[in-house]
Every structure is written in structure tokens, then in C-alpha cells.
């Protein structure tokens, strides 16, 4: 008899289609130890740099540090995992409804030999045909989620790159401030020496010496305070890279030379470009596409599915074919609840698109205004430097003619030193404003570097 063969085939096919679970337990202690032991000479980082056409440098520039952050940062690893999960969900959405298979075996007890066989075997399967476009709606929602995950990865990579660039520039600026503070302290000490010499000759009062000494003490305190800012700057850079602060011991970094803000940038072009390129707007649009697909799926849920169940029964020597036709899970209420909820979620997503666009426009306007203000401040600081240098030059010529003492030259030098330090700070603020404008308009003002693009390869685990 052939009906046991059919039963065997059904059982074998169902067993061989089963997957096997592979456990992957986490060890928080080992993970923490691995994070604490990260270094920039890590062999894995060396290979990652090589994959991106770079090598371990003697002096780490901004692009090199951005690649290191892409390798180490757990936030980017989470974004990569989200992208893989969204790709897997798309495969799930494309899966069609699986058939059900039922089997039954029995033995007839009749007490007579009138029947050909006492055995009863029944095989039945149920195939569900989804109606109303449910599968298409699921695929559309999964594609929108995959697009959102891709944009999340791009946004995370861009955010990490900006954080690294800001941190390395601040660390570089703190070194410059230390040198400027040292020069100011030396100039203040020269003023003290000159005041004491004048006092010894009876040309100055004790109050003048005290004032000069107070200025020197303040300059020394300022130098100490500026030097102390290096440690928070190193910590911020380490956090942006995803490594402990000790990993930067002995590591030399170099920031990109400061860049001035462009005069009178085309605001309309910046706004249009930002609305087209900013990741936040793309994420909001992807979220709206997900909500649109969810509403479509909810509407499709108001249509019943069609179940077809062909079967075969061997009943004590008599074979019978049968077909079942059914409508499972009838939506008698028209699926009004899920449809209403999905429609409301679509309204929320639409409002968030407008909010994201408004936020981008506000950031562009603010960045343009900050650049204009920083450019004016830098120009004003340069004017102060020019005026102070002209006064110092006049004092030096007067000294050469014998009209003033050498102490007057030292006194005139201190405002020049302070003006130059203020101008350097103004240029740093202008560079920071230019970087903020570049971020606000998604790299419109400068060519996007390959290191700032969303990475494809895997990072540290």
C-alpha cells in the first residue's frame, strides 16, 4: 500500500526544514575588559585602515581618527546590526503563507472480514491565499524600515565623524592656547621687571609695581587654567573614538587647519540642499513610508483570506479525495480598530516630517548667522591686533630716538600679546562655526571626505 509512503515523506520534509538554534551568551565582564584595553595600535584597526586605503600614521590626522572611530564605536556597530536586522525582516516579509499539514491514522475494529483493510489513513493540507494585498503591504513596510536603518547608519557615521573632528580641533586648540598663555605670562613678567626698574629709579610709584605684579599673577593663573583644559579635551576625543583616555598616551594628533566662514553664502541654495541631503529628513520620510505601509496593511486586513485544503483519505480499502474551502479569521468589524490606529500613526509621521524640515531650516539659519557673527568678530579682533602693533611700533621708534624708556616697550608689548591671543581664539570660533555650518548643510560647503561616508565593513566586536 502506498499511503504510508506519503506519510513518511511528509514527516521527513517537515523535519529537514527545521533550523538549529545556536546560543550566543554575553559576558559583560569580558566586554568591559575589552573596551578598557583598546589601543590605536590594535591589529584589527590596522587591518580596517588598510581596507580603507590608509595606514597607521605617525601623526593621527582628522580623517585617520574618523576611521578609528568607525572601527571602535559601539554606536556604529549597533547601527550596522540594525541594518542587518532590517534586511532579514525584508526576507521575512517576502515569505508567503505556509501550508498546514495534518495526518491521521486509525484501525477499524469490525469483527468481520467484509472490508478489504481495517486501516484508516488521512492526509490533509491547508493552503492560505492572502487577499487584499497583505503581502505587498508587508514588503513595502519592510523596505521602508530597511531604508530607515540605512539612513540611521549614515546619520550615526556622520555624527561620529563630527564629534571626532570637533574633539580633535579642541585638543589642538588647547595646545595653542597653552603657548599663547605662556607668551602672555612672559610679557606680563617683563612688565613687572620694567615697573620694578622704574620704581628703583624713582620714576614709578609702588602702586604701579603692585598692579604689574597682580597682572603677572593673573597671567600665571590663566596659564595653569588653560593647561588644565587639555585633560578634558583628551577625554572628549577618546570618548568620540570609543577608546579609553589611556589609549591616547603618546599619540600625536593633528587637526585640519582652521577654515574661515565663506562670506555671504547663498542661503536659499543652502536650505534646499540641506532639505535634500540631511539624514534627519530622510529618516522622517522613511518613517512616514513605514506608517503608510502599515495603514495599507491594516486596510488589507479588512479582506478575508481564502483557505484551500485538499486531502486524501484511505478508509478501510476505500480511497477518497476531498477539498476544503474556508475563510479563516473573518474581519466582521471591517478591521476598524487597526485601521484607525494606523491612520493616526500616519498623521504623527507626517507631522514629524514637517518638524524635521523645520529643524533643519532653523539649524541652517542659525549656522549662517553664527558664521557671519564669527567672521565679524574675527575681523574686529584682527583690527585690535593691528592697532596694538602700530602702537608698539610707535613706542619702539620713540625709544630708538631716546624719547622713552625700555620699560615703555615692555608695557606696549603686553596688549599686542593679548590681542593676538584674542584674535587666535576668534579664528578658532570662526572655524568651529564653519564646521557647524558644514554639518547643518550636510557637507555642501566642502567636498565630503571618503572617511565620513557610512562605512560598509565591520568594526570591532
pLDDT tens, residue by residue, 137-162: 889 889 989 998 998 898 899 889 98
Question: What total number of domains does the chain contain?
Answer: 1
Q: Is the dihedral of CA 441, 442, 448, 452 positive or negative?
A: positive
CATH number at residue 392: 1.20.1600.10
The answer as to whether 454 is a domain residue is: no
More confident residue, 308 or 351: 351
**What are the pLDDT digits (tens) for 300-340?**
888 888 888 787 777 766 777 877 777 777 777 778 888 99
Which pLDDT score, from 0 to 100, does residue 137 have?
87
Q: Please give the backbone phi and psi of residue 324, each rounded to the nearest 5 degrees, phi first.
A: -100, 135
Percent of the chain with pLDDT over 90: 23
Within-domain flag for 11: no
DSSP E strand stretches across 298-447: 306-315, 318-326
The answer as to whether 206 is a domain residue is yes
Residues in contact with 381: Cβ distance below 8 Å, sequence separation at least 6, in sequence order: 419, 422, 423, 425, 426, 427
Range of the domain at 118: 57-446
Q: Which of 223, 158, 207, 216 is nearest to 187 (CA)?
A: 216
Residue 420 has pLDDT above 50, yes or no: yes
pLDDT tier for residue 346 given thresholds of 50, 70 and 90: very high
3-state secondary structure of 20: coil
Amino acid at each position: 500500500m502506498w499511503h504510508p509512503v506519503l506519510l513518511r515523506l511528509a514527516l521527513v520534509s517537515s523535519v529537514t526544514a527545521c533550523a538549529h538554534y545556536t546560543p550566543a551568551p554575553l559576558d559583560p565582564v569580558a566586554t568591559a575588559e575589552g573596551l578598557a584595553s583598546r589601543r590605536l595600535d590594535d591589529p584589527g584597526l590596522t587591518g580596517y585602515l588598510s581596507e580603507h586605503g590608509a595606514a597607521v600614521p605617525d601623526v593621527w590626522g582628522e580623517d585617520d581618527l574618523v576611521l578609528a572611530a568607525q572601527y571602535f564605536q559601539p554606536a556604529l556597530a549597533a547601527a550596522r546590526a540594525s541594518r542587518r536586522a532590517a534586511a532579514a525582516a525584508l526576507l521575512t516579509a517576502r515569505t508567503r503563507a505556509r501550508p498546514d499539514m495534518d495526518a491521521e491514522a486509525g484501525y477499524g475494529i469490525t469483527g468481520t472480514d467484509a472490508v478489504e483493510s481495517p486501516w484508516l489513513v488521512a492526509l490533509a493540507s491547508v493552503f492560505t491565499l492572502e487577499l487584499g494585498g497583505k503581502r505587498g503591504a508587508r514588503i513595502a513596510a519592510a523596505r521602508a524600515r530597511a531604508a530607515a536603518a540605512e539612513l540611521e547608519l549614515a546619520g550615526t557615521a556622520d555624527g561620529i565623524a563630527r564629534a571626532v573632528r570637533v574633539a580633535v580641533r579642541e585638543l589642538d586648540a588647547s595646545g595653542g592656547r597653552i603657548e599663547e598663555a605662556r607668551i602672555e605670562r612672559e610679557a606680563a613678567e617683563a612688565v613687572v621687571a620694567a615697573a620694578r626698574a622704574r620704581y628703583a629709579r624713582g620714576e614709578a610709584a609702588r602702586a604701579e609695581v603692585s598692579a604689574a605684579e597682580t597682572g603677572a599673577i593673573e597671567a600665571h593663573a590663566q596659564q595653569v587654567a588653560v593647561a588644565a583644559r587639555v585633560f578634558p579635551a583628551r577625554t572628549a576625543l577618546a570618548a568620540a573614538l570609543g577608546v579609553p583616555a589611556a589609549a591616547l598616551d603618546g599619540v600625536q594628533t593633528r587637526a585640519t587647519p582652521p577654515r574661515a566662514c565663506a562670506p555671504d553664502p547663498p542661503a536659499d541654495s543652502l536650505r534646499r540642499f540641506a532639505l535634500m541631503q540631511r539624514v534627519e529628513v530622510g529618516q522622517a520620510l522613511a518613517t512616514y513610508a513605514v506608517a503608510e505601509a502599515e495603514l495599507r496593511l491594516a486596510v488589507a486586513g479588512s479582506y478575508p483570506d481564502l483557505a484551500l485544503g485538499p486531502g486524501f483519505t484511505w478508509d478501510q480499502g476505500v480511497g477518497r479525495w476531498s477539498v476544503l474551502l474556508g475563510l479563516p479569521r473573518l474581519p466582521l468589524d471591517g478591521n476598524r480598530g487597526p485601521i484607525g490606529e494606523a491612520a493616526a500613526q500616519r498623521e504623527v509621521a507626517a507631522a514629524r516630517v514637517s518638524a524635521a524640515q523645520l529643524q533643519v531650516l532653523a539649524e541652517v539659519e542659525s549656522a549662517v548667522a553664527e558664521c557671519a557673527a564669527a567672521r565679524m568678530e574675527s575681523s574686529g579682533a584682527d583690527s585690535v591686533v593691528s592697532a596694538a602693533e602700530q602702537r608698539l611700533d610707535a613706542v619702539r621708534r620713540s625709544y630708538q630716538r631716546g624719547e622713552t624708556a625700555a620699560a615703555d616697550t615692555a608695557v606696549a608689548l603686553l596688549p599686542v600679546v593679548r590681542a593676538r591671543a584674542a584674535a587666535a581664539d576668534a579664528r578658532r570660533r570662526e572655524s568651529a562655526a564653519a564646521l557647524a555650518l558644514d554639518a547643518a548643510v550636510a557637507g555642501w560647503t566642502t567636498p565630503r571626505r571618503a572617511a565620513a561616508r557610512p562605512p560598509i565593513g565591520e568594526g570591532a566586536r
